[in-house]
Amino acid sequence: MIAAIDPGNCKTKFVGIQQRPFVFPSAIGVNDLARNLKRDPGPYDFEWEYEGKCGFAGTLALEESEYAESRKDDSKAHFDAKLRTLIALHRFGAGTDFDIVVGQPIDTHTDTEKTAIKRMYVGRHDLTVNGQRKIITINRCEVSPEGAAAGLLVAPNTGMIRVIDIGSGSVNYATIISRRFNNRGSWTYNEGMESKRDLQPAAFARQIASKAIARKWSAEDMVYLVGGGAAELLPYLLEYFRHAQLIDDPQTANVRAFLMIARRVYG
């Protein structure tokens, strides 16, 4: 099965061929399986066992884990991202064999990081979720730049667009010219909606815009917003980019673009 996963710091997004996107909390609790009072699991309640560890994930981790956390990192080559991805494949994927596309922030979308991510995923994974054991095999993995990929959903054949991908732990800035990624106009700011002690949307939008303007982005540019913070910050970013608008369903835009790329790469 071809699938795309965006194991974000706040939410994990999954979509497969002819499937709607699934979105669940990225929180993970380790060594949390002892419960006297149990309930029928909700759609995003996960008890997991993997690589000698066990715990809760998704909504169950938020509600029951003493030490639930979502690792926020500029790299996705770590255990938490891998576990989120595998849980998504286990619960929502068809079958047990997969070719996948995942994401990585623009600034760390390097050959070294991409190689580490591919090595982490490709192979066999023995995962139990809610008592159901599966041997998941990932045959192929490609790594797409976050934010820039989402721009492909709206980029015209000619001309330039900008994309601001506002996540919980980082903001990706992307430039696409005639449907080709432009490296000079693309970068990552390692602050996000959950990085601030007391988030003030207007002030954060001003900070985001100021960094773009310093890189020669113009108030007249076509700027598209994606990510979990896009809708909240749009009214404030319009002050700096008068043509700013949301990509449809901004929270899942990246993963839907990853699937588009996966279909091209894997046929």
pLDDT at position 40: 72
Taking 70 as the pLDDT cut, the residues of the chain under it are 32-39, 68-74
In sequence order, the 6+-apart residues with CB closer than 8 A to the CB of 111 are none
Chain-centroid distance, C-alpha 188: 14
pLDDT at position 208: 98
d(CA 220, CA 240): 9
pLDDT at position 196: 84
In Å, the largest CA–CA distance within the chain is 61
pLDDT at position 77: 80
pLDDT at position 197: 84
pLDDT at position 90: 98
Average pLDDT of the residues of the chain:
93
Domain architecture of the chain: domains with CATH: 2-146+254-266 (3.30.420.40), 156-246 (3.30.420.40)
Region class of 227: left (phi > 0), else alpha (psi between -120 and 50), else beta: left
Q: Tens of pLDDT along 97-109?
A: 999 999 999 999 9
This prediction has a pTM of 0.92
d(CA 60, CA 47): 8
- Got the DSSP string for the chain? -EEEEEE-SSEEEEEETT---EEEE--EEES----SS-----TTEEEEEETTEEEEEEHHHHHH-TT-B----S---SHHHHHHHHHHHHHHSSSSEEEEEEEE-GGG-SHHHHHHHHHHHSEEEEEEETTEEEEEEEEEEEEEETTHHHHTTT--SSSEEEEEEE-SS-EEEEEEETTEEEEEEEEEES--TTTSSS--HHHHHHHHHHHHHHTT--TTS-EEEESTTHHHHHHHHTTT-TT-EEPSSGGGHHHHHHHHHHHHHH-
The percent of residues above 90 in pLDDT, for the chain, comes to 86
